[in-house]
A and B are shown apart, each in its own frame.
Chain A
Amino acid sequence: MSYSKLLAVLFASLLMGFLVTSCTEDGPTDPNSEKPAAPTNLMALSVNETTIHLKYDISSSEQNTLFQDYFLSYWVVGETANPMTMAVAKGVNPIAVTGLSEGKIYEFQLVARYTNNENSAASANVKWSPASRFEKTIYNEDINLFERASLFASGLQIYYGSEDGPRTRTTGNSADWDLGVMIDGSTVKFGSASQLGFNFNNQPQPTFMLTDHFLANAFNDVFDSRAMDDGDRNTKYTEHTVDLTNVTGNQNIIVYVRKYQPGKTRYNYAKIMIVRNPAGGFLYGTAPNRHIKLEISYQKVEDVPYAKTASN
């Protein structure tokens, strides 16, 4: 074959290849198969023992004229046979999912949908469990912990099973303390009962707090996608206190807590929010009845750190 013929054959081959590629890759888009981009960063919070809120970053395809809505599927982890589903209109964020059971971990899967019946190829996922929420003690009063000079209690039993809620405890009931407050001079120490500096007749059982804390305007702003013992968090629970006077800003502080209930060997997990007063500080009232105010999210089922980890 001459050199010019060889060149012609090579050119023809290249042209064929280009045409074939053009037909398959760059041809006109079929509107019937176009897919939306998936939502991302799905996070959850436990509103109460039956309700979870889910928050997500919206699909970048929301402005597309084909955009229809989002579609949520969820099921108890390990029980995928009959998932529950709900359509979620554009703009609904967070999503409220109700009718759940405390202690069960649900897997939530959110996709975007187009009107051409196409869903996003990927989905946003999170595994989460609802948990009880308490804003009152078992006596239906605000959850307040008082300074030592007060008639009232400085200690907190996060959950008293017999009456299904938190209760405050004085030093006379020190064995029941999980957490407490010590208001002393210019410091307001909140944390593990054993670290507050009280002289107890009966030592409380250990209660561990995550060394990191979180700030939020309200409990229902505290979304997370990680379990409370996920990764390095599991190594960061210690018995310690936080001096609330060192917490800057104007948001409430949320601490993660875990402890064994009496006679148990597995952790129960809780999130405690210390609520700022209207003036921005953490103390309410006047001496000798200065106090802090708490709200509690508590997971009654052992070994459920709200979300799914490799070990649960």
Chain B
Amino acid sequence: MKKIAVYSILIAMLVATVMTIQYAYAQDNFKGEVISLDSYIMGGTGKVAKDKAKTLADAGHAIVFKSGNKIYFVYNEDGSFAGKRLANFATAELVGIVGKTKTVHGLNIIVVSMIDAI
């Protein structure tokens, strides 16, 4: 019985380690554009000027990333929301993000590792 418990713990630790490593290296590439969620929901394209995007982000409005038909909320690796960071790219035609993606309660999230206009 003791042996089974020890083996179970070891297997659990191994699985956790493998999942951690896999998660750490599961970086995906995303191409898309930075938009204002308010504008997009109200039926527009979501594209706003850089200054407008910065103002919106400063006021707490969501600046998000649209890739294909998906809208992503982008977070920095320190856990902070990256809306203000995204706002700098509002006028860029195409933006690239390298990061990890996950879905939380139906919301699409990217934890950004690198971002730049492409």
Q: How large is the interface on B (under 10, 10 to 19, 20 to 34, 35 or more residues)?
A: 10 to 19
Contact A139 B92 (CB under 8 A): yes
Contact A168 B85 (CB under 8 A): no
Contact A151 B118 (CB under 8 A): yes
Instruction: Report B-chain residues with C-beta under 8 Å of the C-beta of A140.
Output: 85, 88
Does A137 interact with chain B (Cβ within 8 Å)? Answer: yes
- Per-residue interface assignment for chain B, residues 84 to 118, with 1 indicating a CB less than 8 Å from any chain A CB and 0 otherwise: 01001100100010100000000000000011111
Instruction: Report A-chain residues with C-beta under 8 Å of the C-beta of B116.
Output: 137, 139, 141, 144, 152-153, 168
| Distance to closest chain B CB from A152 (angstroms) | 5
Known: A151-B29, A152-B96, A289-B98. A170 touches B118 (CB 8 A): yes
Does B61 interact with chain A (Cβ within 8 Å)? Answer: no
Contact A139 B117 (CB under 8 A): yes
Does A167 interact with chain B (Cβ within 8 Å)? Answer: yes
Partner of B118, one of A138, A144, A152, A289: A152
Q: When chains A and B are docked, how far (Å) is the Cα of A172 from the Cα of B114?
A: 20
Instruction: Report B-chain residues with C-beta under 8 Å of the C-beta of A168.
Output: 116-117
Q: When chains A and B are docked, how far (Å) is the Cα of A140 from the Cα of B92?
A: 13
**Using a CB-CB cutoff of 8 Å, which residues 60-116 of chain A contact chain B?**
none
Q: How large is the interface on A (under 10, 10 to 19, 20 to 34, 35 or more residues)?
A: 10 to 19
| Distance to closest chain A CB from B50 (angstroms) | 8
| Distance to closest chain A CB from B98 (angstroms) | 6
| Distance to closest chain A CB from B67 (angstroms) | 12
Q: When chains A and B are docked, how far (Å) is the Cα of A64 from the Cα of B118?
A: 62
Partner of B89, one of A139, A152, A289: A139
CB-CB nearest in chain A for B50: A163
| Distance to closest chain B CB from A140 (angstroms) | 5
| Distance to closest chain B CB from A131 (angstroms) | 24
Q: When chains A and B are docked, how far (Å) is the Cα of A50 from the Cα of B11?
A: 62
Q: When chains A and B are docked, how far (Å) is the Cα of A172 from the Cα of B118?
A: 8
Instruction: Report B-chain residues with C-beta under 8 Å of the C-beta of A151.
Output: 29, 31, 96, 98, 118
Instruction: Report A-chain residues with C-beta under 8 Å of the C-beta of B92.
Output: 139
Q: When chains A and B are docked, how far (Å) is the Cα of A266 from the Cα of B11?
A: 69
| Distance to closest chain A CB from B52 (angstroms) | 15
Q: When chains A and B are docked, how far (Å) is the Cα of A167 from the Cα of B88?
A: 12
Q: When chains A and B are docked, how far (Å) is the Cα of A285 from the Cα of B98?
A: 12
Instruction: Report A-chain residues with C-beta under 8 Å of the C-beta of B98.
Output: 151-152, 289
Q: When chains A and B are docked, how far (Å) is the Cα of A140 from the Cα of B98?
A: 17
CB-CB nearest in chain A for B86: A139
Contact B88 A139 (CB under 8 A): yes
Contact B88 A153 (CB under 8 A): no
Q: When chains A and B are docked, how far (Å) is the Cα of A151 from the Cα of B29?
A: 7
Q: When chains A and B are docked, how far (Å) is the Cα of A168 from the Cα of B89?
A: 13
| Distance to closest chain A CB from B108 (angstroms) | 19
Contact B88 A152 (CB under 8 A): no
Q: When chains A and B are docked, how far (Å) is the Cα of A204 from the Cα of B116?
A: 21
Contact A153 B118 (CB under 8 A): yes
**Using a CB-CB cutoff of 8 Å, which residues 114-149 of chain A contact chain B?**
137-141, 144
- Give 9 A-B contacts (CB < 8 Å), ordered by A residue: A139-B117, A140-B85, A151-B29, A151-B118, A152-B96, A152-B114, A152-B116, A153-B116, A168-B117
- Counting from the closest, the 10 A-B pairs by CB-CB distance are A151-B96, A139-B88, A151-B29, A140-B88, A152-B116, A170-B118, A139-B89, A152-B96, A141-B116, A168-B116
